[in-house]
Amino acid sequence: MDVLDARKKTGKGRKVGSTVTKRLLTGIARCGNCGSGLASAIYQRSTPSYQRYGYYYLCRVAGGGCGKLSRSGPPVDDYVQEILLSHLKTQARDVTPAKPEGPELEAAKAKLRQIESDKVEARRLRASDELSLSEFAREVRRLEDKEQEVKELASLLSVTPARAGSVAARIVREWDSYTVDMRRAEIARSMEAVVISKAGKGGAQRGRFRPELLEIVWR
């Protein structure tokens, strides 16, 4: 609360009174130098960086960080979203079961095997004339009704595999209409952090985005 109050008073880097500057990767992006969660700030107006990028991420001493790292915001945001969406697209295609079969599904499958062997037995009894044709027909009908019922139950129990994939497909489809908060939530669900490293000696080429300085830590 003290930190928020201080921001309201100074208005540093934002309109006085405003504390709402959560960018896409605020707190998710981390400083590769000290590990602190990065904050965001607006470039000084009238600078080329302001014109081009608007905002940037930074490691803040006031936030407990080393204060030695900053990076233009939009290229990082674009890159991370691109990576996440391609990750989700892969998930959407994946149809392998998300979890092992539960005991109910096991039981349903055992029942189906039992019904199958009852049908074999009924056919055997009919072949040896121990069942009349009408008795045989009734028995087969009973077994087939039962089989239908158990199959429906089994298909209800095994819908889970496709679910993770369809959720991922929906997120990809609707991403453009998501708010920043919704996007942040989805990123945080898949990614533990996005670690941003310093460019190092001679690495500070102006205006060139370097994805190799970003490391995605998946959950």
| Out of 21, 26, 33, 81, the residue judged to bind Zn ion by CB under 5 A | 33
- CA separation for the pair 37, 66 (Å, rounded): 11
Is 164 an interacting residue with respect to Zn ion (CB under 5 A)? no
Per-residue CA distances from 23 to 40, 172, 187, 198, 200 (Å):
7, 20, 12, 20, 25
Residue nearer to Zn ion on the CB measure, 24 or 59: 59
**Contact between 161 and 98 (Cβ < 8 Å):** yes
Residue nearer to Zn ion on the CB measure, 29 or 150: 29
Is 213 an interacting residue with respect to Zn ion (CB under 5 A)? no
Which of these segments, 7-15, 27-35, 81-89, 136-144, binds Zn ion (CB under 5 A)?
27-35
Per-residue CA distances from 128 to 117, 121, 136 (Å):
17, 11, 12
Minimum Å distance from CB 192 to Zn ion?
A: 17
Q: How many residues bind to Zn ion according to rule CB under 5 A?
A: 7
Residues 43-102 that bind Zn ion (CB under 5 A): 59, 65-66
Is 195 an interacting residue with respect to Zn ion (CB under 5 A)? no
Residue nearer to Zn ion on the CB measure, 59 or 187: 59
Residue nearer to Zn ion on the CB measure, 21 or 33: 33
Query: How long, in residues, is the chain?
Result: 219
Is 31 an interacting residue with respect to Zn ion (CB under 5 A)? yes
- State the chain's maximal CA–CA distance in angstroms: 98
Using DSSP's 3-state secondary structure scheme, residue 87 falls into helix
Residue nearer to Zn ion on the CB measure, 65 or 73: 65
Reference 147, options 119, 123, 122, 124; nearest CA is: 119
Minimum Å distance from CB 10 to Zn ion?
A: 21
Question: HSE (CB half, 13 Å, CA atoms) of 5?
Answer: 2
- CA separation for the pair 183, 144 (Å, rounded): 49
Minimum Å distance from CB 69 to Zn ion?
A: 5
State which amino acid sits at residue 53: Y
Is 34 an interacting residue with respect to Zn ion (CB under 5 A)? yes
Which of these segments, 33-41, 127-135, 162-170, 206-214, binds Zn ion (CB under 5 A)?
33-41
**Contact between 140 and 124 (Cβ < 8 Å):** no
Which positions touch Zn ion (CB under 5 A)? 31, 33-34, 36, 59, 65-66
